[in-house]
Structure 1
Amino acid sequence: MTLKLTRRQVIAAGAALPLVPTAAQAALTEKPVRWIVGYPPGGSTDTLARMLSTGLSKSIGQTVIVDNRPGAGSAIAAGVLAAAAPDGLTVMGADNGTLINNPVLYKDLKYDPDRDFRPVGLYAGINLVLAVGVNSSFKTGAEFVAAAKVAKEPITYASPGLGSPLHLAMERFVRDADIRLTHIPYRGMAPALTDALASVVQSIIIDYTTASEAIKGGLLRPLAVFSKTRLAALPDVPTMSEQGVPGFSAGAWQGVIVPRKTPDAVVASLSHGLTAALSDPGIRLRYDQLGLELPQSDPETFARRWQQDKEYWPQLIRSLGIKLD
């Protein structure tokens, strides 16, 4: 047990968890906490980790360092976390790809989500946007769907990677809209966006967090949002459900996880710190600007969402026959 706990956090953790060893509550360290990110710089996972690390650092009284370990849809990073000591000094910003999709996509993972990890708290609901470069002839999601239904050659779309949450959200859209599209996977969102802006690829599925500056700058045209309701940041952009695909919605989420054997007191401290960071008015304002949803952040809520999503996405992946080994 090496995570530094403030006096208030120790008392709170002790009250909620009376069986936690006293030694665990009292341990102190000056070592930094490493926040592992499974994707390259420039995407939403990296952006959010850097945004929240400062607030988390203030709350737990330790420096938080973001460590990018991209590759294999975050599987490389998750493998690093699984091998880390359960002392609270290594955490990861995981998404539904890490915990739900990868175990179905990869045959030989270096981790098992249920065996190796435990949830600390959700920190973001990621809203997705179907978009095109400004030189595209498509102006709305309805036009896009109509064109896709009659196109001799399927319209192409970019995603940050095969089997990524964004790719699978698009596959769900393809199925619900009864259309054909050609998927062009990239190694991360930054190169996918670059090619979408240059019209190298005809469209892109992208999180609004990453797309916001390009949209505001008039470089990228949003056709539809994949959320259940319109985004406050994009009030004039209809949902896909409003544009001919009734009932459709798809998104992604992110949360902090730690090694499975991390003590309860450490998880309580990290959860408290994450909640404190998310409560900052500046963070809330930034979330609104980036079109992010602010979920309830605690281990129990995260665990429920984790299990709920396991009921749908693995079945979709198997039905599509996607394997990444």
Structure 2
Amino acid sequence: MTITARKLRGFLARAAQPPLLNFPRGVFVTVPIALSRRSMLHTALGAAAALALASPQALALAQKAWPAKPIRWIVAYPAGGGQDFLARHLSVQMGRQLGQSIIIDNRPGAAGIIGTDAASKAPADGYTMVTGDNGAMVLNTALYKKLPYSPGDFTPLGFMAGFPLILVVNPDSPFTSARQWLAAVKRSPGAYSYASPGAGSPHHLAMELIKERTGSFIVHVPYRGTAMAIQDVMGGQLPMMIVDTAGGLAQIRAGKVRALAVLSPRRIAALPNVPTLAESGVPDFEAVAWQGLFVPKGTPPDIAALLSVEMQKAILVPEVKTRLEEFGLEVTPSDGPQLASFIARETTFWHQLIRERHLSLD
């Protein structure tokens, strides 16, 4: 679909309307620190993208035939997972808005490194986007001495959604509360083990944060993905793990695992009767898996700004938002600068924890 000057004027008029969305308090933050990461969630969506589109470059964009071909959206994880689910549902609506197809390109492997690297080397022409998460944009840069890409290789378009993390145990476990569980693991260092979807995952790092905060020692057993890990917890081979809502909500609802606590700062709508870890004796504890949208650095700023606004608009379409929330996601979109600031604060916090825990994947 060619973006004509008339269409662009209409878009700018819509984009410049007063923002309607207030970020819910504390969805993404792990712990309050100076220049709190939580502050991002207390600000309304700004008009940065609209201002960018009002530039002379935006008027030039109106004369170009963009997007003239399908846009590729790289997902650095397998089809069927949480990242894939979010991208596929959002891409359909964004495609409708842009008048062009958006094709999901799954590039799994090496904790998201393969797909993220492929995106970093793609032409910066507005025809490639990539989902970036905690691992790709924050954790990997501290866990690996050498990466084939850098977070600086990308321009952030905006935050899309958070995947709340949940501490779960086998349904036959003697633990019926997080307080009881915490007392047991602190009383018997090394006597308990836990599964994770993989070393260096947000789930692994969340448990490391629990261990750091409580002075406990729990043996880590990394798996290659959530499906195998939660299967062994359900079967009793391992007693516990941390899951995200995308990978574990169905099993919790079916009674195949027992949820002891959510790691968000407040209870989540999907599991309103499950207390937070902060309620259970670990004050101010917060951790979440999150997803943002990025394009290769050098993508024309007017195209990046338009993609950012269209993403924010698409994810708040009622049927899209409802479907994502049913899957367990917390939908809280932002613009690119807000995501960049959030990533900077996340990097400071998690890199300090990784250094203190002497964690490395090299």
Which residue of structure 2 aligns with residue 80 of structure 1? 118
Could you list the per-position Cα deviations for residues 165-197 of structure 1 after superposition, in whole angstroms to 9, with x for gaps in the alignment?
221111111111221111111222222222222
Question: Letter of the aligned partner of 2:8 in structure 1?
Answer: V
Matched residues in 2 for 1:6 and 1:219: separation? 54
Which residue of structure 1 aligns with residue 79 of structure 2? 41
Matched residues in 1 for 2:346 and 2:276: separation? 21
Question: TM-score, structure 2 length as denominator?
Answer: 0.83
Which residue of structure 2 aligns with residue 299 of structure 1? 336
Matched residues in 1 for 2:277 and 2:166: separation? 9
- CA distance 1:33–1:223, change in 2 (3 Å): same
Which residue of structure 2 aligns with residue 259 of structure 1? 296
Equivalent residues, number: 322
Which residue of structure 2 aligns with residue 138 of structure 1? 175
The alpha carbon displacement at 1:297 in A equals: 2.1
The alpha carbon displacement at 1:123 in A equals: 0.5
| Structure 1: 5+ residue stretches without partners | none
Identical-pair percentage: 41
The alpha carbon displacement at 1:324 in A equals: 1.6
The alpha carbon displacement at 1:22 in A equals: 5.1
| Structure 2: 5+ residue stretches without partners | 13-49
Which residue of structure 1 aligns with residue 284 of structure 2? 247
Which residue of structure 2 aligns with residue 10 of structure 1? 8
Which of 309, 315, 321 aligns to 2:358? It is: 321
Question: Letter of the aligned partner of 1:196 in structure 2?
Answer: V
2:253 pairs with 1:216: yes
Native 8 Å contact 1:9 1:269 kept in 2: no
Question: Letter of the aligned partner of 2:197 in structure 1?
Answer: P
The alpha carbon displacement at 1:27 in A equals: 2.5
Which of 134, 137, 147 aligns to 1:109? It is: 147
Matched residues in 1 for 2:310 and 2:192: separation? 45
Native 8 Å contact 1:39 1:188 kept in 2: no
Native 8 Å contact 1:33 1:62 kept in 2: yes
- CA distance 1:218–1:6, change in 2 (3 Å): farther
- CA distance 1:6–1:302, change in 2 (3 Å): farther
Native 8 Å contact 1:42 1:189 kept in 2: no
- CA distance 1:154–1:35, change in 2 (3 Å): farther
Which residue of structure 1 aligns with residue 345 of structure 2? 308
Residue 169 of structure 1 aligns to a residue whose secondary structure is: helix
Could you list the per-position Cα deviations for residues 69-117 of structure 1 after superposition, in whole angstroms to 9, with x for gaps in the alignment?
1222211111101100011211111112111111111122111112x10
Which of 112, 120, 127 aligns to 1:89? It is: 127
Residue 302 of structure 1 aligns to a residue whose secondary structure is: helix
Which residue of structure 1 aligns with residue 199 of structure 2? 162
- CA distance 1:203–1:42, change in 2 (3 Å): farther
**Structure 1 stretches of at least 4 aligned residues deviating more than 4 Å after TM superposition:** 3-9
Native 8 Å contact 2:170 2:258 kept in 1: yes
Question: TM-score, structure 1 length as denominator?
Answer: 0.92
Question: Letter of the aligned partner of 1:151 in structure 2?
Answer: S
Could you list the per-position Cα deviations for residues 230-276 of structure 1 after superposition, in whole angstroms to 9, with x for gaps in the alignment?
11111111001111112211112111011010011111221122112
- CA distance 1:179–1:280, change in 2 (3 Å): same
The alpha carbon displacement at 1:128 in A equals: 0.5
Which residue of structure 1 aligns with residue 226 of structure 2? 189
